[in-house]
Structure 1
Amino acid sequence: MEVELERMGVFFPASLEIQEELLKAGFKVPYDKGSGRKTPIPVVVSSREGRRIRRSRLLKAKDFESDGKFALVQGERTLMELELTERGFLVLRPKPIEYHLEEIGFTSIPPRVWGTWASFSIPFSAYDELADFLGDFRKDNGNGFYTASRGSGGRIEVYAYKGRSKKDLGIPVFGYSLGLHGLTLFEEYLGEKAEENDVPKERLRYLKLGLKKRKETKTGLKVGIVWENGRPVEITLKLSTTEPRIRIQGLYGELVGKSRGELVRTDDWYVIIHASDFITALEAVGRAFGGNSY
């Protein structure tokens, strides 16, 4: 099964592992006060509706318009393939076809201490198709699953988690791989930054800028439904890691944050979960406001 996403955002700046790899190679991450050189680690973003952001935050895009202060990035496409295995696992494979690179905006809490660092939004119109696709894995008993909600204004997100202690994680994740390798815009961006930072270009081929789950990485996927003005509009999937904590030496002292995984060279994107957990979580949030017949 394959669906087209409404939007996708992978916050690679949340990874101290990637920051350390770039620092060791000679890049000024994220900013060197003395020389003024900076190499912000990009957020990889794709939005079907397009996106308006400050021009200074747009690092690289294939197609955009700008008035000097703001940039309007045209609509982009990302697909997600859902693959079932014989052992009952569900493999989610995001495939960014059109995307852009952003510098993260100001936040009061540094990304390295966030839980969630990747999000994928599926249009709610795919709900019935997803439920049919995973119907054989449906469990009569949803004990052990709980729901929580958050929201502001007319927008409310309801998500599911498995086990009372897993509220910050969602459902268990058994493997994942996300990385910057193979993204043409990033390769162009990194080449430009190598020149600015006087980093020999031959050094780039040895960099590991992908992340893969370690055995000890505490990982979960929040499966939720977003409601706007009383109507469900999208299915949201959020990848979170919370432990272990790691330390690196930044440009201006020690940095502490949450591990995002093991550094690898890969252009393969995937998240592995139990199919039964996914359908149970999806139907739990579908029932949160009175059933899943909309």
Structure 2
Amino acid sequence: MELEPLRMQVFFPASLEIQEELLKAGFRVPYDKESGRKTPIPVVVSSREERRIRRSRLLKARDFESDGKFAMLSGEKTSIEFELTERGFLVLRPKPIEYHLEEMGFVSVPPRVWGTWASFSLPFSAYNELVDFLAEVRKDNGNGFYTASRGSGGRIEVYAYKGRKGKDLGIPVFGYSLGLHGLTLAEEYFLEKAKENEVPEERLRYIKLGLRKRKETKAGLKVGLVWENGRPVEITLKLSTTEPRVKIQGLYGEIVGKSRGELARTEGWYIVVHAGDFITALETVGRAFGGNPY
């Protein structure tokens, strides 16, 4: 089954592993104080709706208009394929068909210490499709699943987690692969930055800008619903990693953060969870305000 998300954001600046790989290759990441040269690690973003951001934050895009201060990006298309395996796993395969690259804006908490670093939002109209698609693997009545919420005013996000210690993760993730390889805009961006940083172009063939789950990586997927003014409007899927800690030598000192996995030259994106966990989490948040959400 394939669905078209409303939004997709993968925060590769949250990975100290990728930062270290670029530093070792000779890139002055993210900012060289002496030359004033910036080499930010890009955030991969796709939005079905038009998006307006500061022009200075837009690193690469195929189609946009700008007044010099702001950039207007047209709606972009991406998809997520949901695949059930014979062993009861659910494989989510995000496909960034149309997207752009952004620089991280200012945040009070640096992304290297975030839990969540990849987010996908589906329209709530996909809820019934997902429930029907996964009906045959429904085995749990919701025992052992809990909910947490965030937000205020008319917009609240409720997500489910498995086990009392799973609040920071959601449901267990058994594998994932996300990377900047195979993305034409990312390849063009790093070619330009290689010239700016005086890095030999052929070195780009060997650096690893993708991430896969290590055996010791604590990873989870937060399956949630966003409610606006009492009505569900979005399904949210957020990949989080919390352990182990990782330490690298940055341009200006030691940097510590959360590991995002092992470096790899990734070919495609995927996230693997138990199908039974996914549908139980989805139906748990669906019942969060009593009854069915549809």
Asked whether the equivalents of residues 16 and 248 of structure 2 are also in contact (C-alpha less than 8 Å), the reply is yes
Q: Deviations over 1:177-201 (max 9, x none)?
A: 0000000000000000000000000
Q: Deviations over 1:204-253 (max 9, x none)?
A: 00010000000000000000000111111110000000000010000000
**Matched ranges for 1:42-57 at <5 A:** 42-57=42-57
Find the counterpart in structure 1 of residue 59 from structure 2. 59
1:166 aligns with 2:163: no
1:117 aligns with 2:113: no
Per-residue deviation, 1:153: 2.3
Find the counterpart in structure 2 of residue 10 from structure 1. 10
Runs of 5+ in structure 2 lacking a partner? none
Q: Deviations over 1:102-141 (max 9, x none)?
A: 0000011110000000000011001001000000111252
Find the counterpart in structure 1 of residue 220 from structure 2. 220
Find the counterpart in structure 2 of residue 281 from structure 1. 281
Tell me the SS of whatever aligns to 1:291: coil
Per-residue deviation, 1:267: 2.3
Find the counterpart in structure 1 of residue 270 from structure 2. 270
The change in CA–CA distance for 1:58 and 1:214 in structure 2 (over 3 A counts) is same
Q: Aligned partners of 2:130 and 2:31: how far apart in 1?
A: 44
Asked whether the equivalents of residues 244 and 258 of structure 1 are also in contact (C-alpha less than 8 Å), the reply is yes
The count of corresponding residues between Structure 1 and Structure 2 is 294
Find the counterpart in structure 2 of residue 19 from structure 1. 19
Q: Aligned partners of 1:104 and 1:50: how far apart in 2?
A: 19
Tell me the SS of whatever aligns to 1:46: strand
In angstroms, what is the RMSD of aligned CA positions?
Answer: 0.7
Asked whether the equivalents of residues 223 and 237 of structure 1 are also in contact (C-alpha less than 8 Å), the reply is yes
Tell me the SS of whatever aligns to 1:190: helix
Q: Aligned partners of 2:23 and 2:75: how far apart in 1?
A: 33
Asked whether the equivalents of residues 180 and 267 of structure 1 are also in contact (C-alpha less than 8 Å), the reply is no
Q: Aligned partners of 1:206 and 1:92: how far apart in 2?
A: 27
Asked whether the equivalents of residues 9 and 46 of structure 1 are also in contact (C-alpha less than 8 Å), the reply is yes
| Structure 1 range deviating more: 132-141 or 173-182 | 132-141
TM-score (norm 1): 0.99
Per-residue deviation, 1:291: 2.0
| Amino-acid identity (%) | 84
Q: Aligned partners of 1:161 and 1:187: how far apart in 2?
A: 36
Asked whether the equivalents of residues 140 and 280 of structure 2 are also in contact (C-alpha less than 8 Å), the reply is no
Find the counterpart in structure 2 of residue 35 from structure 1. 35
Find the counterpart in structure 2 of residue 187 from structure 1. 187
Corresponding letter in the other structure for 2:139? K
Runs of 5+ in structure 1 lacking a partner? none
Q: Aligned partners of 1:140 and 1:63: how far apart in 2?
A: 46
Corresponding letter in the other structure for 1:128? N
Find the counterpart in structure 2 of residue 68 from structure 1. 68
| Structure 1 range deviating more: 147-156 or 179-188 | 147-156
Q: Aligned partners of 2:55 and 2:140: how far apart in 1?
A: 51
Tell me the SS of whatever aligns to 1:23: helix
Asked whether the equivalents of residues 169 and 221 of structure 1 are also in contact (C-alpha less than 8 Å), the reply is yes
Asked whether the equivalents of residues 154 and 230 of structure 1 are also in contact (C-alpha less than 8 Å), the reply is yes
TM-score (norm 2): 0.99
Q: Aligned partners of 1:229 and 1:252: how far apart in 2?
A: 47
Tell me the SS of whatever aligns to 1:165: coil
Q: Aligned partners of 1:196 and 1:75: how far apart in 2?
A: 31
Asked whether the equivalents of residues 31 and 40 of structure 2 are also in contact (C-alpha less than 8 Å), the reply is yes
Tell me the SS of whatever aligns to 2:202: helix
Q: Deviations over 1:270-291 (max 9, x none)?
A: 0000000000000000001122
Tell me the SS of whatever aligns to 1:292: coil
The change in CA–CA distance for 1:173 and 1:252 in structure 2 (over 3 A counts) is same
Q: Aligned partners of 1:267 and 1:73: how far apart in 2?
A: 27
Q: Deviations over 1:67-123 (max 9, x none)?
A: 111111110011000000000000000001000000000011110000000000011
